[in-house]
Structure formats: structure tokens, C-alpha cells
Copies of this chain bind each other. A is one copy, B any other.
């Protein structure tokens, strides 16, 4: 009974106190760029420039000006493929190729098609100066979906050079997340050329789409590789936001297992755990709405080294999830950061400069840089 009450209190948002703000390294927050329309993803190029996506379909460059200070280039990058931008759909992730310094290629994820028949698409392109050339679609989700919600869209490179990315359940028939004939509610793994790796877990299974890498996700919007381990988080409905360790072929349970309930307060499933399905490393109930994630191991904030940083929309925060060892998962209390901004945080990144970078989710979104306060 106690468990039930705690659970209900949790999903209803009555009792679950956020962790107390811990004493942390003093920091200050600089605005690097502003006026961005729902910036979604930030990437650092080895030449010192940055790329940032706007959900409406623009890819923007941030580059050092004549004074050496970073500034947003007013003209968007040319050559971005057409994007379906409506509701939650649009241009999502930008990710430089691991070999960008040599091949100047990036990958983009975005919604493609019409509102009533749309797809998650991943494409590769070459960035020449301020334009994209040689755009090649690598992946188009199947089948077409009729809602412009729950796209997922985050991507990461595995150490073997393959690309992993997540797709949401589409928010129409949530059981699609458990069905192997659709990409909805799955993570996928493909080669940098769009090929399907022969060692994908469902390759060769009759009726299964071979790109599928893991199963049973609701709407994953955080993905990072740390210490060889693939971490992902996903939005629950009312409660049940999850941080997971992804393993090929594993089932993360949605909608058969969840720590949350429906937006209507209806029960989604009788199960919070099931043998054969992967339990989350941790969950957030009430929902914080996790929307991006970084692994921080930089020099500027020694106290934050070895932490996952989780950007949260609803909680308007970044959750710092400390780890003693990335191969072993979270340990200790989470730290709640940047609540003073009062901003929905869409993405968080660890820069090559050792700073922590944030994107605020708003029609007037900003790129923020967090550096140690100089006393």
C-alpha cells in the first residue's frame, strides 16, 4: 500500500521532491547566440565553428568573428533538404562525421514527408564552407506515420563507426514500439553509408526490420556513448521518464512496462517491471521531460567530471547524474543545475573547450556557454 501511495504521489507530482541543489563549482552563463527558433542540436567542428539546428528546418553556423568572438552567422547553411516542420516535427540532430576533419561530412536527422504520411529520415551531406553538398539519404523510417509527434531523432556514433539513432513510438498506436515490422519506438543502427550491419540483432528474422537495434522506447531524445556504454533517455507519459543502458536486441518495455501512467491518469499497463525486459538505470517521476544529454569529462569543472548531463524541458533544468565509472552506471545523488534560467533546456553538450553548452527551447532560443565564475 505504501508503495502504491508513493507511486501515485509520484506520478501526480505531489511528493517527489527534486534533489536539493548541491554546492557546486561557481559558474557563469554566457549567451553565445540568441534569436534561434527552437534550437534542437549543437555540434562542434574541428575548425572551431559550431553548427546548430533550428527545428523549423534551418541549420546555422556559429563562427569566430574578426574579433575572435563567436557569433551567429545570419545566413543559414544552404542546401539543407526539405523538412516537415509541424508540431514536434522538424530538423532535429546534426552530428559531424568522426572523420569530419578529412571528409567534412555531417549527418542530419529530420522529419520528412507530409503531416499525414511522414517519416524520420537520416541523411549525410558534405559541408563546403557555408553550404551542404552531396546530400544522401541514409535511412527513412517505415511505415509512414500519421502523427507529427514522438520522432526521437537523437544520434550517436558507436566506437565501431556505425551510427545509432532513436525513433519514438509515433504516439498513435503505442504497441508499435513492440512490433519488429516498424521502426517506431526503436533504436536503429546503420553504417555511415546507410548499409545495415550484418551483426544487427534482428537481421535475418522474418518480418523484422534489419536496422532495429533495441526495442520498446516511447520517445527517446537523449543518446550518448561514454566509456563504450550507450546511454539513452526517453520521455515517459505522466511519469516514467527513463535513463537506460542500451544493449543490442534488448527490450526496454514501452508500453508493456512503464513507471508512469497515461496523461489521462489511466493505467498504461499493470507492469512496472517484467522478466525479459530491461529495467531503467533510473527513472524520473514526476516527469522532467529529458530532451538531450551529454557526457561531461572536461577540464573546466573538475567537480562535474564523469557525469551525464541531462537537459530537461519541463523541469527547466539540467540534471547532473554522477558516475564513478561510466561502465557501471549512476551512483549518488543527482544535482539540479541552471534552474535559475527558468528556461526549457533542449540540449546540453560538453564543448572541446571544457565548457558546458546549452540550448534553450523557445521561439527566441539561445546558445549558452557555462564556464567557471572568475571570483
A163 at the interface (CB under 8 A from B): no
Q: Are A175 and B270 in contact (CB under 8 A)?
A: yes
Q: Are B275 and A251 in contact (CB under 8 A)?
A: yes
Q: In whole Å, how far is A42's beta carbon from the nearest beta carbon of chain B?
A: 33
Q: In whole Å, how far is A192's beta carbon from the nearest beta carbon of chain B?
A: 26
Contacts of A175 in B (CB 8 A): 270-271
Q: How far is the CA of A271 from the CA of B178 in the complex (A)?
A: 8
Contacts of A197 in B (CB 8 A): none
Please pick, from B250, B251, B270, the residue contacting A274 in the complex, using a CB distance under 8 A: B251
Known: A178-B275, A215-B275, A276-B276. 18 other contacts (CB 8 A): A175-B270, A175-B271, A178-B271, A178-B274, A180-B275, A202-B275, A215-B276, A216-B275, A216-B276, A249-B275, A250-B276, A251-B274, A251-B275, A251-B276, A256-B256, A256-B271, A256-B274, A276-B277
Q: How far is the CA of A251 from the CA of B256 in the complex (A)?
A: 14
Q: How far is the CA of A178 from the CA of B276 in the complex (A)?
A: 10
Q: How many residues of A contact B (CB 8 A)?
A: 16
Contacts of A256 in B (CB 8 A): 256, 271, 274
Q: How far is the CA of A249 from the CA of B271 in the complex (A)?
A: 18
Contacts of A249 in B (CB 8 A): 275
Question: A252-277, CB under 8 A of B: which get 1 and which 0?
Answer: 00001000000000000011001111
Contacts of A250 in B (CB 8 A): 276
For A253, give the chain B residue with the smallest CB separation: B276
Residue numbers of A with Cβ under 8 A of B are: 175, 178, 180, 202, 215-216, 249-251, 256, 270-271, 274-277
Q: How far is the CA of A202 from the CA of B271 in the complex (A)?
A: 18
Q: In whole Å, how far is A28's beta carbon from the nearest beta carbon of chain B?
A: 44
Contacts of A274 in B (CB 8 A): 178, 251, 256
Q: How far is the CA of A175 from the CA of B270 in the complex (A)?
A: 8
Interface centre among A202, A249, A275 (most CB of B within 10 A): A275
Q: Can you spell out 15 A-B residue pairs with CB atoms less than 8 angstroms apart? A: A175-B270, A178-B271, A180-B275, A215-B275, A215-B276, A216-B275, A216-B276, A249-B275, A250-B276, A251-B274, A251-B276, A256-B256, A256-B271, A256-B274, A276-B276
Q: How far is the CA of A250 from the CA of B271 in the complex (A)?
A: 17
Contacts of A271 in B (CB 8 A): 175, 178, 256
Q: How far is the CA of A37 from the CA of B216 in the complex (A)?
A: 49
Q: In whole Å, how far is A113's beta carbon from the nearest beta carbon of chain B?
A: 25
Q: In whole Å, how far is A205's beta carbon from the nearest beta carbon of chain B?
A: 9
Q: How far is the CA of A180 from the CA of B273 in the complex (A)?
A: 10
Q: How far is the CA of A256 from the CA of B257 in the complex (A)?
A: 10
Contacts of A216 in B (CB 8 A): 275-276
Q: How far is the CA of A262 from the CA of B146 in the complex (A)?
A: 32
Closest 5 CB pairs of A and B: A251-B276, A276-B276, A251-B275, A215-B275, A175-B270
Q: In whole Å, how far is A4's beta carbon from the nearest beta carbon of chain B?
A: 14
Contacts of A251 in B (CB 8 A): 274-276
Q: How far is the CA of A180 from the CA of B274 in the complex (A)?
A: 9
For A186, give the chain B residue with the smallest CB separation: B275
Q: In whole Å, how far is A84's beta carbon from the nearest beta carbon of chain B?
A: 29
Contacts of A277 in B (CB 8 A): 276
Q: How far is the CA of A247 from the CA of B215 in the complex (A)?
A: 22
Contacts of A270 in B (CB 8 A): 175
Q: How far is the CA of A178 from the CA of B216 in the complex (A)?
A: 18
Q: How far is the CA of A250 from the CA of B250 in the complex (A)?
A: 13
Contacts of A276 in B (CB 8 A): 215-216, 250-251, 276-277
